[in-house]
Chains A and B, each alone.
Chain A
Amino acid sequence: MTEPIKITPPIVDADVMRLKAGDKVLITGVIYTARDAAHKRLVELLDRGGKLPFDVKGQLIYYVGPTPAKPGQVIGSAGPTTSGRMDAYTPRLLALGLKGMIGKGARNKDVLDAMKRHKAVYFAAVGGAAALIARSIKKAEIIAYEDLGPEAIRRLEVVDFPAIVVNDAVGGDLFHQGVEKYRRAP
């Protein structure tokens, strides 16, 4: 197996373009959390001409709703949620310069097209590996929509957060490639 590629957000187009579907990465730096309810508010805010609670340019969004932190914990268990639920909102954020998303499961064509257009990458983390992934999160702070509880937007500081490139910016698709390799059914 090849060594993981180190990623340190914010990232630029050149960083995106060297990532290929199937590459393993370790992310170190700041990433932001948002899932369905937060995305809905972000896009409604854009519709009203408002300013987002954080600048998405060059950033990565992690689709996660963690469990509450126990005393002494930075964050509770924090694995990825199903990304497809964010498909309706993601192209808007990509157009503003969002460079990547971290989740699980497939994206729709609109998102994949927007990723090619705006040069962005989609990573998967291992679904259900929430206690393990939480170990790479060193700091967590709610920066918006606290009333959404687990769905609030958090700013996370991560060290060697493990993920894998599923969709790159030139049409590479790990789900497609991986399944084709192991498919035995017609």
Chain B
Amino acid sequence: MRKISALEITKVVKELCVGAACNLPPDVAAAVKSAHAKEESPLGKEVLGQIIENFEIAGREGLPMCQDTGIAVFFVEVGREAAMDGSLADAVNEGVRQGYKDGYLRKSVCHPIKRLNTGDNTPAIIHASIVEGDMVKIKFAPKGAGSENMSRLKMLKPAEGIIGIKAFVVETIREAGGNPCPPIVVGVGIGGDFEMSAMLAKKALLRPVGAPNPDHDLSGLEKELLELVNELGIGPMGFGGTVTALAVHVEAHPCHIASLPVAINIQCHADRHKEAVI
């Protein structure tokens, strides 16, 4: 067994929180710049220019690119030969607490009904799994509410099939309009059960922007959905334009013979994610 200290986890999580808030990953930056080159609407182009200027300032000056520094979402893979000297959840939450405080990030987590802010952006949302090996891999993807709020899940009838899936994606993006800060990345989870479809949609967002699903049918669907979404004309910030989405990512999983769950998780252009391996 390889020993891993909880303090190390906390330290890494703290760095991930601050680093992700201020630095747009290179794949996303490249996708936004390519959108800027492609956008046909002059106003849309100008908006994309401001978005680029903003993330460049943020990276250079170490400032959060968006004031919504998100609810802290983690995907943690723990090698079965890694032995931690404490609770994973405690270690991660302590890292969030320190990162959001010392990094001057906004604390955006509250009681769902009383709406009282917890004050330190905890609890984080932690999805952990046990894998082979002795390493711990932590993926951090802070999620802003503007885009999360426009996400949808629907239990389709199997008879609705691929036509129903496409219609649901297009309708969801149309309805979202400018709210989720387009250009967006669209994560689509097809199959599994109720909660798994949502997890698939969220995991789809963790892929590098525009990296196709290795399955040929699904990558074809991604391409078609991206065209359909961009034909909506919503454009940057909803002001009208040819680039509404930077990419559509689809993940699929077998489901019950009576079900067709479909979840759509929307991600804004400030598509922040960062990972570390311990």
Binding site for B on A (CB under 8 A): 1, 22, 37, 64-70, 76-79, 81-82, 84, 104-106, 124, 126-135, 148-150, 162, 164, 166, 174-175, 177-185
Contact = CB atoms under 8 A, between A and B. Distances in A.
6 contacts: A104-B179, A105-B238, A130-B64, A131-B55, A179-B177, A181-B41
Interface in B34-65: 40-44, 46-47, 50-51, 53-55, 57-58, 61, 63-65
B106 A124 contact: no
A104 B115 CA distance: 22
B177 A129 contact: no
Given A149-B117, A150-B106, A181-B240, A128 B270 contact: yes
Contacts of B42: 1
A178 B43 contact: yes
Interface stretch (B66-74, B88-96, B124-132): B66-74
Given A105-B179, A106-B179, A178-B235, A131 B57 contact: yes
Contacts of B242: 182
A1 B239 CA distance: 15
Given A76-B104, A130-B66, 11 more contacts: A67-B105, A76-B106, A105-B177, A106-B177, A127-B66, A128-B65, A128-B66, A129-B54, A130-B54, A150-B67, A184-B231
B181 interface: yes
Contact of B53 (A127, A132, A134): A132
Interface string B206-243: 00000000000000000000001001111101111110
B264 interface: no
A34 to B, nearest CB: 14
Contacts of B54: 126, 128-133
B238 to A, nearest CB: 5
Contact of A130 (B65, B107, B238, B240): B65
A129 B249 CA distance: 25
B268 interface: yes
A93 B223 CA distance: 45
Interface string B156-184: 00000000000000100000011101000
A65 to B, nearest CB: 6
B240 A182 contact: yes
B105 A178 contact: no
Contacts of B117: 148-149
Nearest to B69: A67
B123 interface: no
B151 interface: no
A33 to B, nearest CB: 11
A126 B43 contact: no
B10 interface: no
A73 B122 CA distance: 25
A174 B238 CA distance: 9
A178 to B, nearest CB: 2
A164 B104 contact: no
A1 B64 CA distance: 30
Contact of A132 (B40, B43, B50): B50
B108 interface: yes
A41 B117 CA distance: 16
Nearest to B42: A1
Question: Which 10 interchain pairs have the tightest Cβ spacing?
Answer: A178-B240, A183-B233, A182-B233, A105-B179, A127-B181, A185-B231, A132-B54, A129-B54, A184-B231, A131-B63
